[in-house]
Structure formats: structure tokens, C-alpha cells
């Protein structure tokens, strides 16, 4: 076994760290030498109200064990303020764990604009605001570790969670691109889909399950992903109860449905439907170039009528 993983000299910001999973991350980082910004708005699970108490309690606990921590009570929607707390107190920001979250479960037939918007504001926009504020500092220091917290509801869908599923999978898309844009400056971004007993899940889980799914069983994965020795970026992990696994896209071999010189028809799609959906021979494209290569190959095989390559991913954006 290797040495203990330490975070001395690192500054970590954990959003929603006043309870549940975020509290575990903050306590563990504090115990292992990181200076920690404990952010929590202190509201209820639906996003109402505010209190400084949850963040204060975690800060006190870290300090009582000899660690260094400060509280921040702003909403993640004000990402700049959270990062400014790290800069003002510790002069840098190395680790961001986007963890704050609320729920507004509602079947799609009954969902309101507010149910949709507030979930997106806190989860997706909040993670964007916090990460964007930290980004230039991480790039400049040539070190950054960002965690996005998605959910099985986002990956697989879940009844009553259209708003939450959409926002949570949006965070995975954000993470995938941050991993690409951060690579050359050693800024990594990974996504976790945790499962844990907390105030968000205590109403839907029986007590023995809450007991078996302690937030402290998710913490080790998050700490490893935040450590300077971890080289992975742009990955997705499911984690709970001490079990963890990586997850990736899987694609069927695919079928060229168009025949050179002939019109392409819906009937041809129907007639090839089982082959199009046949996962017995699959691939796992891991980036956009690899994913598009198959299509370009098919395009070349139909060269007679192929359009010119128009790969939008190759367009150089303003940096």
C-alpha cells in the first residue's frame, strides 16, 4: 500500500458542505491537510430559507481537530463569492467539489416553470458559476481538480425527476468539456454519481439502507479524484456503500443504411432496425474524434454523394 494521501498546501472549496456528502468531503480534506472553504446556504431541501449554522458547525468540527477552515454562506448561484472567500482567506483555489443540491420532485405532467428553473439554477448553473470563477486561478497555477456531482436519475432517468435528471446530466456534459479544456494546464474534472443516506434520501430510503449507505463511503473516491496523484479526467463514476465503478458510453457497431446513388428512406431504417440496435458487437468511443471517425469512414464508403467534411468540433473558438 502507498503512502497516506495528503492535501497539505492545497485549498479546497466544497459546496453544500453543511451536511450529507459535502460535510464528509470537507471533514476529510481538513483532516488531511487541506485548507477548506465550507460553503452552505443552509436552506431546506426544496431550496427555501437560509442559515449560517450548518456551515459554521462543520468549520468548528474541522478546527477542533486541528484543521483549517472558513465558512461561506452564499448560494452557489453566486459562484464568484465562494471562490473569493478562498482567495481572501487562503490566496488560492486548487480543488472545487460541486456538491450543493436540492430536490423539487414532480411528475412531468405537474412540473412548473419554477420546479424546472430552481433545480437548474442550483445544480447546473451553480456548478458552472463556481467552476468558472475558479478556472483562471487553476489554469494559472497549472493545477486544478473539479468534481461534478451527477445522479443515477440523470444517467438512467427516474420517475418524478425530469428537472433534476436534466440538470444532473447537464453537469456531466459540462465536466466532459472542462476535462478537455483543462488538460493542458493540469486542471482535471471528473463526475460522480453517488448514493448515500442523507436528508435528501431519508424520506425515500428505509433506516437500514440509510445506515448501509453512509456518506463516508463515497468520500474516499472523491478525495482520490481530487488528489494530485490521480491522473484521470473526464471520467464518470458510480459510487455507494463502499462499491464504486466507472461508467462509459457504449455504441452498437452501426449500419450504413444509405446506398450510393439511391434515395435514403425510412423503410431502409425499419428494415435495418434490429442490426442498428444490436449491442452484441459494440464500441466505446471515448472522445468526439473517435466517435465521428466511424461516420467519416461510412461517408467515405459512400463517397459518390458524400458531403464535404464539416466537423464543427474542429472550429477553433475564442480562448
Give the residue numbers marked as catalytic. 164
Please tell me the distance from the alpha carbon of residue 21 to that of residue 151, in angstroms, as a whole number: 13
Stretch of 85-93, 139-147, 197-205, 220-228 contacting ligand NAI, by CB under 6 A: 197-205
Q: Which residue is nearest to ligand NAI (CB)?
A: 20
42 binds ligand NAI (CB under 6 A): yes
Residue 27: CB minimum distance to ligand NAI, A:
13
79 binds ligand NAI (CB under 6 A): no
Residue 101: CB minimum distance to ligand NAI, A:
3
Q: Residue 102 in contact with residue 71, Cβ under 8 Å?
A: no
Count Cβ atoms below 10 Å from residue 290 Cβ, excluding itself: 11
By CB under 6 A, name the one of 10, 12, 13, 19 that touches ligand NAI.
19
> How do beta strands 251-252 and 282-283 pair?
antiparallel
Site for ligand NAI in 116-155 (CB under 6 A): 122, 126, 149, 151
Please tell me the distance from the alpha carbon of residue 62 to that of residue 38, in angstroms, as a whole number: 10
Length of the chain: 319
Closest CA to 60 of 82, 34, 27: 27
45 binds ligand NAI (CB under 6 A): yes
Residue 196: CB minimum distance to ligand NAI, A:
4
Size of the site for ligand NAI (CB under 6 A): 33
Residue 141: CB minimum distance to ligand NAI, A:
25
Phi-psi region of 150 (alpha: psi -120 to 50; beta: other; left: phi over 0): beta
Closest CA to 159 of 108, 88, 100: 108
Residue written as cell 485548507? Answer: 35
Cβ nearer to ligand NAI, comparing 102 with 187: 102
Please tell me the distance from the alpha carbon of residue 92 to that of residue 178, in angstroms, as a whole number: 19
By CB under 6 A, name the one of 10, 12, 14, 20 that touches ligand NAI.
20
70 binds ligand NAI (CB under 6 A): no
Residue 6: CB minimum distance to ligand NAI, A:
25
By CB under 6 A, name the one of 185, 201, 272, 294 that touches ligand NAI.
201
Collect all residues with Cβ–Cβ distance below 8 Å to 79 and sequence separation of at least 6.
126, 128, 129, 130, 131, 132, 133
Alpha helices in the chain (DSSP H): 20-31, 53-64, 79-90, 113-119, 126-141, 152-156, 162-182, 207-212, 219-226, 266-271, 273-276, 288-301
Stretch of 39-47, 87-95, 133-141, 308-316 contacting ligand NAI, by CB under 6 A: 39-47
Query: Phi then psi for 270, rounded to 5 degrees?
Result: -55, -45
40 binds ligand NAI (CB under 6 A): yes
Residue 135: CB minimum distance to ligand NAI, A:
19
Stretch of 95-103, 140-148, 227-235, 255-263 contacting ligand NAI, by CB under 6 A: 95-103
By CB under 6 A, name the one of 100, 130, 174, 223 that touches ligand NAI.
100
Contacts with ligand NAI, residue ranges (CB under 6 A): 15-16, 18-22, 39-43, 45, 47, 54, 75-77, 99-102, 122, 126, 149, 151, 194-196, 198-201
Amino acid at each position: 500500500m502507498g503512502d497516506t494521501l495528503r492535501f497539505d498546501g492545497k485549498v479546497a472549496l466544497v459546496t453544500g458542505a453543511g451536511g450529507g456528502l459535502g460535510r464528509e468531503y470537507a471533514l476529510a480534506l481538513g483532516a488531511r491537510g487541506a485548507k477548506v472553504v465550507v460553503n452552505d446556504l443552509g436552506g431546506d431541501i426544496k431550496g427555501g430559507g437560509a442559515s449560517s449554522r450548518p456551515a459554521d458547525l462543520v468549520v468548528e468540527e474541522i478546527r477542533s481537530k486541528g484543521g483549517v477552515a472558513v465558512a461561506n454562506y452564499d448560494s452557489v448561484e453566486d459562484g464568484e463569492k465562494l471562490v473569493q472567500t478562498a482567495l481572501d482567506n487562503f490566496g488560492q483555489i486548487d480543488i472545487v467539489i460541486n456538491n450543493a443540491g436540492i430536490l423539487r420532485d414532480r411528475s412531468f405532467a405537474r412540473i412548473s416553470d419554477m420546479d424546472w428553473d430552481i433545480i437548474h439554477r442550483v445544480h447546473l448553473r451553480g456548478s458552472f458559476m463556481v467552476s468558472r470563477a475558479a478556472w483562471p486561478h487553476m489554469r494559472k497555477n497549472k493545477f486544478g481538480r473539479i468534481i461534478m456531482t451527477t445522479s443515477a436519475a440523470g444517467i438512467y432517468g427516474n420517475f418524478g425527476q425530469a428537472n433534476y435528471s436534466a440538470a444532473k446530466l447537464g453537469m456531466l456534459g459540462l465536466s466532459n468539456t472542462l476535462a478537455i479544456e483543462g488538460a493542458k494546464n493540469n486542471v482535471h474534472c471528473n463526475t460522480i454519481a453517488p448514493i448515500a443516506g442523507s436528508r435528501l434520501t431519508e424520506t425515500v430510503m428505509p433506516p437500514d439502507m440509510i445506515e448501509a449507505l453512509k456518506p463516508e463511503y463515497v468520500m474516499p473516491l472523491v478525495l482520490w479524484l481530487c488528489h494530485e496523484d490521480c491522473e484521470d479526467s473526464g471520467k464518470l463514476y458510480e459510487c455507494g456503500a463502499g462499491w464504486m465503478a466507472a461508467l462509459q458510453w457504449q455504441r452498437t457497431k452501426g449500419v450504413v443504411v444509405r446506398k450510393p446513388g439511391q434515395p435514403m428512406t425510412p423503410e431502409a431504417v425499419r428494415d435495418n432496425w434490429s442490426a442498428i440496435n444490436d449491442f452484441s458487437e459494440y464500441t466505446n468511443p471515448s472522445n468526439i474524434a473517435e466517435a465521428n471517425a466511424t461516420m467519416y469512414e461510412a461517408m467515405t464508403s459512400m463517397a459518390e454523394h458524400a458531403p464535404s467534411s464539416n466537423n464543427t468540433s474542429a472550429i477553433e473558438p475564442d480562448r
